[in-house]
Amino acid sequence: MSSTTFDFSRWPPTLTDTQIESLTLHGTTYALFNGLTYLPPGTTQPPSPSSAIHAPISLLPSPVPRSLFVAVQQLQSAYNVLYSRIAMDDDFLDKVMGAVEGAGKVDDFTGTLWRGWKDIRDEGIMQVSAPAFLEPLHLGLFRSDYLLHTGEEDGKLSFKQVEFNTISSSFGALSERAASMHRYLQALTNYYGVSSHLKPENFPANDSTKGLAEGLAEAHNAYGVSSAYILFVVQQNERNVFDQRWLEYELLQRHGIRAIRQTFEELATSATIDSSTRALRITIPSTLSPSGSDSSIEISAVYLRAGYTPSDYPTPTHFATRFTLERSRAVKCPTIPLQLAGGKKVQEVLSRPGMVERFVGETNARELRRTWMRMWSLDDSNLPIPLTCSATPRSANEPNGTTLARALANSLVLKPQREGGGNNVYKNDIPLFLETLPLQEREAWIAMELIVPPRGVGSYLVRAGTTGNNRSDSNGGGKRNKIVRAETVSELGIYGWSLFSRETGVRERGDVGWLMRTKGVESNEGGLAAGFSVLDSVVLV
């Protein structure tokens, strides 16, 4: 297999300054023109935007062994089914979130969501059948994230899962455009012949926009009211709006489905539920309705691009609004249980002996497990993993999970129940962090072995300069692009969707598209330090 012979440390091929300049000119122009864009920093909406900047991009795609790429794509359906089944298993989620007094109790944010969902279940409204009322459908637009891992003993590469996202899985539309940009640069310049790998047949297709919009359209169709809208719940100061807008345009153009965007603040006053049908309606000024007279619109599906992080819920009203949406009969992407299923704690629990096997057949379970690093809970006293190191507990009652985390700190990351980046604790920071972490909070954290990506691989990263008039920015200032050649790590995300309920069963697609994101090795999490995180694509090797 070619992957065994590909030398990652020789990537990227060397480009001259003139070649870099030319690729940057063509790449950034393509990006700006084709909506591979963000709103500029400091933009607040409304008012309507007056400018955009190109997304941070890589000039060349990053290498991925072909067989490994195909394997994780093929695995996506099993992941779709797994997480759909978890979201429909109330007892399992209650145990993980509550009965073990774990994440739910010690983590206010997750706990509030979980308790709100329990209250809704206790109200029994979801069972009302008037008329022929079905349990609302769950829609998952998923992204399973992986890093290439170098086997400790044999040095063999495999993909290991970082996490599975069940809410606000972003960058689908932009990743498709990053892939087309690289295809364009190849077609235009042949990358000046610098590498025999850079040819069209090694650039895999990526139709994420179409695939993700199809999931939303299926949800809309299942709801069965063609004039209804899909509601995009968005954050107030979102800069990644174009990634979302592409999905709206696709919904309208290909499927004839309208979308409306609202924040939780707006929904607090605009959203109502019909007491007999449980239909979700949004009040709008009648002058702004396409008919010129309607003062409210019905919502078929709620697509959350907000609501995954505590800062999205600054007041109890924000949570109340989320629960209003949950109570409606609109399809939710995701429902609260599906959001909870994507928690890091669930990921860890699944890795325990016999757990994932409860949800999928033996063969799939084996394949899924092959993509996991070892994980455990900090409060665990009964680790399935032997304490192989010379670990000594800090005190008589210290759980083995914590002792092991302290002893193996240098090859670990600790993760709380959070999404959206910037929450993890790495390596040397772990021992001190453990000193200060209150005993009862340990249950909300998981320890995960660090994936070890190939070293020495690099990329040319391009970021737009600030657009501010007089701002001198530390990166060279002005509006010039910043270009660096950096040693990098690339994270591959595989998209899939699933539409399901206990009544209808699971319908899913695992071939929806993919995302490649690349960052400088210096930063643990796509930070701002020496390198930065860019949108990338894949060259199969």
Residue ranges binding ligand ADP (CB under 6 A): 145, 147, 162-163, 373, 413, 415, 418-421, 423-424, 448, 450-451, 491, 525
What secondary structure letter does DSSP report for 52?
-
| In the complex, minimum distance from the CB of residue 342 to Mg ion, in angstroms, rounded to a whole number | 7
What secondary structure letter does DSSP report for 503?
T
The strand pair at 280-283 and 296-304 is best described as antiparallel
| In the complex, minimum distance from the CB of residue 423 to ligand ADP, in angstroms, rounded to a whole number | 5
Q: What would the two tokens of residue 2 be?
A: 């070619």
Q: Quick check: 496 and 470 in contact, CB under 8 A?
A: no
| In the complex, minimum distance from the CB of residue 149 to ligand ADP, in angstroms, rounded to a whole number | 8
- Shorter beta-carbon distance to ligand ADP: residue 180 or 423: 423
Dihedrals phi, psi of 250, to nearest 5 degrees: -65, -40
| In the complex, minimum distance from the CB of residue 418 to ligand ADP, in angstroms, rounded to a whole number | 6
Among Mg ion, ligand ADP, none, partner that 451 touches (CB below 5 to 8 angstroms by kind)? ligand ADP
Determine the longest span between alpha carbons in the chain, in angstroms.
74
Among Mg ion, ligand ADP, none, partner that 346 touches (CB below 5 to 8 angstroms by kind)? none
User: Is residue 491 within the footprint of Mg ion (CB under 5 A)?
Assistant: no
Q: Which residues pair with 496 in a beta bridge?
A: 142
- Shorter beta-carbon distance to ligand ADP: residue 370 or 394: 370
From candidates 419, 443, 508, 536, binder to Mg ion by CB under 5 A: 419
Residues 132-191 that bind Mg ion (CB under 5 A): 163, 165
**What is the distance between the alpha carbons of residues 152 and 374, in angstroms, rounded to a whole number?**
13
- Shorter beta-carbon distance to ligand ADP: residue 27 or 526: 526
Say which residue the tokens 């809704």 belong to.
120
Strand runs (DSSP E) across 52-184, as ranges? 53-54, 57-58, 62-64, 138-150, 157-165
Q: At what angle do helices 208-223 and 241-255 cross, to 10 degrees?
A: 60
Q: From the CB of residue 469, how many other CB atoms can be counted at a distance below 10 Å?
A: 7
- List the catalytic residues: 143, 163, 165, 170, 344, 415, 419-420, 517
- Shorter beta-carbon distance to ligand ADP: residue 533 or 537: 533
- Shorter beta-carbon distance to Mg ion: residue 163 or 248: 163
| In the complex, minimum distance from the CB of residue 418 to Mg ion, in angstroms, rounded to a whole number | 8
What secondary structure letter does DSSP report for 134?
P
**What is the distance between the alpha carbons of residues 87 and 338, in angstroms, rounded to a whole number?**
5
Among ligand ADP, Mg ion, none, partner that 97 touches (CB below 5 to 8 angstroms by kind)? none
| In the complex, minimum distance from the CB of residue 506 to ligand ADP, in angstroms, rounded to a whole number | 24
Q: For the chain, how far is it from start to end, CA to CA, in angstroms?
A: 10
Among ligand ADP, Mg ion, none, partner that 413 touches (CB below 5 to 8 angstroms by kind)? ligand ADP
Among ligand ADP, Mg ion, none, partner that 450 touches (CB below 5 to 8 angstroms by kind)? ligand ADP
**What is the distance between the alpha carbons of residues 435 and 201, in angstroms, rounded to a whole number?**
52
Q: Which residues in this chain contact Mg ion in the complex, by CB under 5 A?
A: 163, 165, 419
